[in-house]
Structure 1
Amino acid sequence: MKKLRQMMVFMKVVESGSITKAAEKLELSKSVVSQHIKQLESDLDVTLLKRTTRKQSLTSEGERFYEHCCAIHQVAEQAWDEVKQQQIEPRGKLKITASHALMDSIVVPALSNVFKGYPNLSLEFIGHDTQLDLMQEDIDLAIRIGESPVSNLKQRRIGSFVDVLCCSKNEKEALLSRGLLPYVANNWQPKNIEHKLFNKHTKESLVWKPNMVHRSNTVYGCISMIKQGLGVGILPDFIFNEYADSFIEWLPEYQLEPTPVYVLHPYSGAIPSSVKMAIEAITRYLNDVK
């Protein structure tokens, strides 16, 4: 770092035409600038500048060294400008993870709408119903259902949804006739399921412990089994609304408690513009889609 600073001071002395003028532009004392040049020449064991009281000129070694200093300065300026530009126009790669349900119904449509006009940005989506390690997987953003344990990651609530207890419209009568109602569960649900439902009008609550018969590792498997009449199950309201022609609420007078949605990211300092834009877009879409 000391060498680079001395090289930049030397470059400024050459461009300014004198140590005095360079000191003014660098807002340093003349003696400090002069010491930098002396130390540089001593370390290199070469004379870079020929100086008199009225004039300075570069030696042949100084000319070549000055060219290298300018090249380094240009690279540094380019690196600075490119990173600053990323805060204005998203570019590079944005890697996002979310559960399958949130990914396909919320995240992908929200970010596709926002980032279509940014050709220098590459989106990478990872749909996964387990919580991936953001640092280990080099993930910029995670959208998760429920609050995560305390960690070094930054997280905040961005909205919520309500799971809807539903069944196939065409199969409700058949299910009612079976007696013990079969239940379709997702793998993330516990073995012993318990639902607390609230009356939409009186707020009276009831607890229902369903008979879990069928299970799937994705929301799409659950959708398919419910649609085929294998049982009842829960679907997020934004997915239930997508399948309004196929599904019907099992207990239309009751509803489950809202489920919070959180966003997590590993950035402790300045957040990249692409991450900021993604959070804003997902938040808007989540709250508008229902």
Structure 2
Amino acid sequence: MNKLQAMEVFVQVVDAGSFTRAADSLQLPKATVSTLVQGLEAALAAKLLYRTTRNVTVTTDGAAYYERCVRILSDVRDAEEALSRTRLSPSGRLRVDAPTGLSSQILVPALPEFFERYPDIELELGSTDRPVELVEEGVDCAVRGGALADSSLIARRVGVLNFVTAAAPSYLQKHGTPQHPHDLRQHRCVNFFSHKTGKSYDWDFRRGDEQIILPPRGGIAFNDSNAYIRAGLAGLGVVQMTDYLMMEHVAAGKMVQVLPDWTSDPLPVNVVYPQNRHLSAKVRVFVEWVADLFARHPYMHMGAVPR
């Protein structure tokens, strides 16, 4: 038995809470994962996991052994990555998740630059507006906008999201242009709803010391940013979306910014990863690359608006 491999498999099973999810993340057969953990238990003469048909939980001995394994594996990776850093070429598979619009508009166009720097990294970029479960889904790190609900994740702030309220010229010609946020009560607005709760997000407006928060009224809602933008372009109503997605359409005359004297509170953008995972060289260079990319972007950098 390769004990280091068995320890890594055991840690992944504990993190994922499932032999199946651990096997998928490690790209190993489930039988191999089970055999390696059983081999560890036999070698240690101790039961590490409680197994049921629904889930896997760690025993008291297993919890203590898990903490030791995490430290040992971290030390091993430190030694390996010290050599990797001297070669300046981190390698291996890197699974990243990012919002749909941010991936298509910012990350993907800049990837040639990333691969020129790090040609040995095999990047798997998932694009979804759904917040993924990093450990359970085998994702190394994720780019997320807004407040972080999961306190178990380590976050590196890399930028901000600013919002623009706009509508298609065809909609404004038919329904008029709102002059104040309260006018939106007489307009059709396109909603964006949460994957998790199913509720639509409120819109917020600020001008000086005045702040207005209101639920937009409308008969249509989306949970995908690309579809949301298309709805605005089609003249389905007033939309409020991030400026990095919206301003190119405003510049092209396909959308018209409304309520320009009012701003919305910016949201932070973070790269997050599990705190019980060693920050590998490939994750580290990706985080640094994203931070540098956003710092150079006209809409994403943290100095884009007064804080």
1:184-223 matches, within 5 Å, as 184-188=190-194, 191=199, 193-199=201-207, 202-223=208-229
Q: Secondary structure at the match of 2:279?
A: coil
Whole-Å separation in 1 of the counterparts to 2:139 and 2:292? 22
**1:173 Cα deviation (Å)?**
2.2
Whole-Å separation in 1 of the counterparts to 2:241 and 2:266? 12
Q: Which residue of 1 aligns with 2:257?
A: 249
Q: Secondary structure at the match of 2:229?
A: helix
Q: What TM-score, normalized by structure 2, do the two folds share?
A: 0.61
Q: Which residue of 2 aligns with 1:286?
A: 294
Whole-Å separation in 1 of the counterparts to 2:188 and 2:136? 40
Whether the 8 Å contact between 2:98 and 2:143 is mirrored in structure 1 is yes
Q: Secondary structure at the match of 1:254?
A: coil
Question: Is 2:132 the partner of 1:132?
Answer: yes
Q: Secondary structure at the match of 2:218?
A: strand
Q: What TM-score, normalized by structure 1, do the two folds share?
A: 0.64
Whole-Å separation in 2 of the counterparts to 1:192 and 1:100? 18
Q: Which residue of 2 aligns with 1:27?
A: none
Whether the 8 Å contact between 2:200 and 2:221 is mirrored in structure 1 is no
Whether the 8 Å contact between 1:154 and 1:268 is mirrored in structure 2 is no
Whether the 8 Å contact between 2:94 and 2:122 is mirrored in structure 1 is yes
Whether the 8 Å contact between 1:129 and 1:188 is mirrored in structure 2 is no
* Pairs aligned (count): 211
Question: Is 2:237 the partner of 1:231?
Answer: yes
Letter in 2 for 1:169: P
In structure 2, relative to structure 1, the CA distance for the partners of 1:231 and 1:162 (3 Å cut) is same
Question: Is 2:84 the partner of 1:86?
Answer: yes
Whole-Å separation in 1 of the counterparts to 2:270 and 2:117? 26
Q: Which moved more, 1:226-235 or 1:215-224?
A: 215-224
CA RMSD, 1 decimal? 2.9
Greater strand share, 1 or 2? 1
**1:231 Cα deviation (Å)?**
0.2
Q: Which residue of 2 aligns with 1:154?
A: 154
Mind listing any 5+ residue stretches in structure 2 that lack a counterpart? 1-76, 179-184, 300-307
Q: Secondary structure at the match of 1:240?
A: helix
Higher Rg: 1
